Each structure stands twice: as structure tokens, then as C-alpha cells.
Amino acid sequence: MATYLKRGKDQAQIKADQQNVTETVQGILRNVEERGDTAVREYSLKLDHWDPSSFKLSPEQIKTIMESVSEQTISDIRFAQEQVRGFAEHQKSTIHDLEVETLPGVILGHKNIPVSSVGCYVPGGRYPMVASAHMSIVTAKVAGVQRVIACTPPNNGELPVETICAMAMAGADEIYILGGVQALAAMAIGTETITPVDMLVGPGNAYVAEAKRLLFGRVGIDLLAGPTETLVIADESADAEMIACDILGQAEHGPTSPGALITTSQQLAEDTLKEIERQLLTLPTSDIAGAAWRDYGIVIIVDDEEEAVIESDKLAYEHVEILTKNPQYFLDHLTNYGALFLGPETNVAYGDKVIGTNHTLPTKGAARYTGGLWVGKFMKTCTYQKCTPKASAMIGEYAARLCEIERFMGHREQALLRVRRYGE
């Protein structure tokens, strides 16, 4: 039976915190819809202290910014984007159009059609999330999206030059220095200067995730990617130093970023708790990571691998690292996770920044019903049908009787018209 050595905040407190987020986001969305660019500019000034003559960067500005970035940074960004692009292209190669004759004269099929326009949110603020540009913009372009716009916030009143460089290299058609809920609202609702998009993608904090949730329906979204989550599943073969390092390395994203350990070893659990406290003494971001671990950290002791799978699937965390003697067992048996990191040789930072899998992943239990962002998220699988006259008459007889059962007489007449016209 699973035993909790440490628990995070209770669900009632988390729910209360979320209600405050929802009310704030609703107000911003309503204001942007009613007042357009004026509201966007007011929120940008209030929240980011950012009031440029234009939020959109000109080609000349982008060129100047790219020239200011070091060759090493350009090279590193290019390498990361090559990995993301390469994996996305391999994924796209698994997506196929279909056409099949299901009955004599009955042709059914589907086409995979890219979404026409996408808005990519690239988080910033405390940390410039350069990698999010690769994950969203590159992947959208591989899918065939024609118009990709990208928003990222300023960095303490300055242009986030590395992020802008990554956006441009990824192929963004429009780049705006605009952050937070006001950026999501502008892209989805549209303003006097920003043409609305069909879909929003990208990670963000709790406010960004809530904005996407509330805007869903008006536009499509990739998934609800809120504060990052990391779970380590470990047995006695793992070491506390690596576990603590990997949990805290993700907890520094923000004070609401959950980190968890599921282990079959009581000793390892206790050692990890001590090691986390030791590492927090020297971690430069300990103020953030420490708060996240204090309020959202979880340690669960289980009897065996099977129970570890059960507890992990209940959590359905965004990132799951496997530090056990047999990582393959968890690849074979886990069902609820955003991304899986098998063995000590890999880690969440690789996936976040460079290895090629997408880092925009489900959080808050969404891994129970969706995977992460990938090239297929930007494509609509749309069906079609066609019939020969003889097949139409045959199908029409079945359709007419089935429509009559449901009392849809107009539907029935559509079918009977074809029976009369095309029947022998």
C-alpha cells in the first residue's frame, strides 16, 4: 500500500487559488474584447511596464537584433531547432491521407489539412523561454501552417533578444513583444492591429493556461500546459543526489511547480528529503524552487513496480523520469504522462531544451486524455465520401429506413431522392 512521506497543498487550497486566477483572467479577456488595442496596451504597461510605439517588430528590428546575438548562441539555437524539426518531420511521415472503397462504389477517405493560422505563446518574464519558440513555431511550420504569429513578453523592460532570434529562425511570420493573458487575448480575439488566429499553442503560467481554457471554442488550443510538473520513479539503484537535482531543476520554473518522488526504497526517500534541503542551500534559484518543494512536493513509498505504476498514473504528471534497474517496465506499463525519460542518461532538461521531443506537455492531470504538442496537433483530419450511382441507390435504401426509425423525415427524403434518381 502506498505511503505518503510528504504531501503538498491540499486540494481545497489549490482550488481556492485557481478561482482567483479564473476571475482575473475573465476580466482581462472581457476588457480586451471590448476595448481592443487600448486594453492590451494598458495591461502591458501595468503588468510588464512595456509601452512601445508598436508591439510588432519590423523586419529591420529583427535583423538588427539577430546581428547582436553571438555566433555561439545562433549555432546552439540552430542545433536545437534541427533536432526539433527532424523529429517533427519523422512524426509527420507517420500521418497519411486515406482513401478506401468500403463497398462496391462507395469511396471513403480522409485528408490531413494544416490549420491556417496559429498563435504561439513563448513565455518569458523571470526566464526567457527560448526553447518554446522551437517547440511551437518550428513544429507548426513542419505541419504546413501558413501564418504563424508569436508573442513573448519583454524582459525587465528590454527586448529578449535570444528569444526573438529563435522565433525568427524558427520561421515566425509576425513577432510581437507582448506577454501574459493580454497576448493570448489579442491573438485569439483580435484587435485593431492584430488579426485573430485559429489556434493558440504554447506553455505558460497558471494565468496563461487559464486564458487558453477560457478561449477554447473561439479558437483551438494545443492543451492546457500550466506550471511544470516532474515526477521521479526510483528504486534502490538510484541515488538521492540525482533525484534531488532533477526535482529542484524543474521546481525553479515557479513557486507552483510540483515535484514528486515515487520509490520502493524507504531509505532512498529519506535520503532524498535530506539531499533536497542540502542542495537548496546552494541553488541560485532556491527561493523559487524551495517554495515549490515546500508547498507542492510529494514523496510516496510503494511496495513494488506495479504499485509505482498505479500511483504514477493517478498523478498523471507532465514529466516522468525513470531511475530504476528496469526502465523498460515503465515504458511498457505507464499510460498517463506527458513525456517519459528512461534511465539516468537522460533528463527533463534535455527534453525541455534540445533533444527533439516537444516540451509543451499536459499538466494538471490532462495526461489522462491527451499527449503533448506535436505536428499532428496542427493538422485537421477531415473525412470525405463519394458514391457511384448504383452504390448511392443501395446506401439510400438503408439510410431511408434508418432515418425513419429516428423520425427524421427530411433526412429520409434526401436518401429516397437518390434511390428514385439512381435506382434501377
29 Cα distance to chain centroid: 21
The Cα–Cα gap between 58 and 62 comes to 6
C-alpha cell belonging to residue 90: 519523422
Of 174, 201, 222, the domain-final residue: 222
In three-state secondary structure terms, 283 is: coil
Q: Are residues 189 and 244 in the same domain?
A: no
Same-domain pairing of 418 and 337: no
- Please give the pLDDT value at position 5: 86
With bands split at pLDDT 50, 70 and 90, how would you rate the model's confidence at 114? very high
Please check whether residues 261 and 324 belong to one and the same domain: yes
- Residue 318 a catalytic site member: yes
Domain identity same for 123 and 203:
yes
Out of 134, 253, 319, 359, pick the active-site residue.
319
Do 356 and 412 belong together in one domain?
Answer: no
Domain interval for residue 396: 388-422
Q: What's the confidence (pLDDT) of residue 316? A: 97
User: Which entry of 318, 345, 404, 413 is annotated as an active-site residue?
Assistant: 318
pLDDT of residue 378: 98
Global pTM value: 0.93
Spatial contact of 355 and 267, defined as CB atoms under 8 Å apart: no
Using the CB atoms, write b or e for 71-81: b if 16+ within 10 Å: eeebebbeebb
Q: Does the annotation count 275 as an active-site position?
A: no
Contacts for 414-418 with beta carbons within 8 Å, 24 or more apart? 418/392, 418/393
Check whether residue 200 and residue 56 sit in a common domain. yes
Residue 174 domain flag: yes
- Residues 160 and 243 both lie in one domain: no
Same domain, 232 and 315: yes
- Check which CATH number belongs to the domain holding 237 and give it: 3.40.50.1980
Q: Quick one: 74 and 156 in the same domain?
A: yes
Whether residue 13 lies inside any domain: the answer is no
What does the alpha-carbon distance between residue 210 and residue 39 come to, in Å, rounded to a whole number? 19
- Is 3 within the bounds of a domain? no
Asked if residue 380 is part of any domain, the answer here is no
How many structural domains are present in the chain?
3
Q: In this structure, are 210 and 253 located in the same domain?
A: no
Q: Which residue has the cell 504597461?
A: 45
288-320: pLDDT as tens digits:
999 999 999 999 999 999 999 999 999 999 999
Listed range (19-23, 142-146, 234-238) with the worst mean pLDDT: 19-23
Domain match, 158 and 234 both: no
Out of 222, 237, 260, a domain closes at 222
Would residue 335 count as lying in a domain?
A: yes
The single-letter DSSP state of residue 285 is T
**Mean of pLDDT values over 144-155:** 98
